[in-house]
Amino acid sequence: MSFEKGDMQMQDADHVGTLIGALPAAPLAMPRQVLERPSTLWSRLIAVFGAGVRTRRLGN
C-alpha cells in the first residue's frame, strides 16, 4: 500500500483523548472474530461454576 506523508491528516483529538502529531487518518476495520460456540457443555460448566463462586461471595 502506498501512502505518502502529504496524505496525513490531523485526527479529531476528542476521540482519542490526547494527540500530538498528525497520526495518519487511514482507518482499517478489525472485524470481531468468533471464538465461542453458542453453547457447549464446557461453557455451561464454566458458567455454572462461576455463578456458584460468585453466589458464595468468594469472587470479585
Partner 1 sequence: MSPRQTSLPRTWAARSLALVLAIGLGFAAGALFLQYGSGDGLQAMDWLRSGLILLSTFWLSWGACQGMLGLFSRSSPAVIPALAEDVPVIRGRTAILVPVYNEEPAPVLARVAAMDASLAALGLTDKFDFAILSDTRNDEIAAAERRWFLRLIAERGAEGRMFYRRRAVNTGKKAGNIEDFIERSGAAYEFALILDADSLMEGGTIAEMVRRMEADPKLGLLQSLPKVIEAESRFGRAMQFSASFYSPIFARGLATLQGHTGPFWGHNAMVRVQAFAQSCGLPVLAGDPPFGGHIMSHDYVEAALLARSGWTVRVDVDLEGSFEEGPENIIDYAKRDRRWCQGNLQHSRLLMAPGLKPWSRFVFLQGILAYIAPLFWLGFITASIAAIVLAPTPDYFPTPYEQLFPTFPHNDTAKAVELAIGIFGLLLLPKLLIAAHAAWTGRARGFGGGWTGLRSTLTELLFSSVIAPVMLMYQTRSVAQVMFGLDSGWPTNNRGDGTLGIAEAWANSRWIALTGLAGLLFVWWLTPVLVAWLLPVGLPMLFAPQLIAWSSQRSGPARTGGARLFTVPAEIAPSPVILAWKHILAVWTGTAEAEAPRPGPAPEPATAYA
The amino acid sitting at 52 is G
Total number of residues that touch partner 1 (CB under 8 A)? 40
Q: Which three cell numbers stand for residue 18?
A: 490526547
User: CB 15: neighbour CB atoms within 10 A?
Assistant: 7
CA trace torsion 39, 40, 43, 49 (10° rounding): 110
Least separation in angstroms between CB 36 and partner 1: 7
Binding mask 18-47 for partner 1 (x = CB under 8 A): xxxxxxxxxxxxxxxxxxxx--x-xx--xx
Per CB under 8 A, residues contacting partner 1 are 1, 3, 5, 7-8, 11, 15-37, 40, 42-43, 46-47, 50, 53-54, 58-60
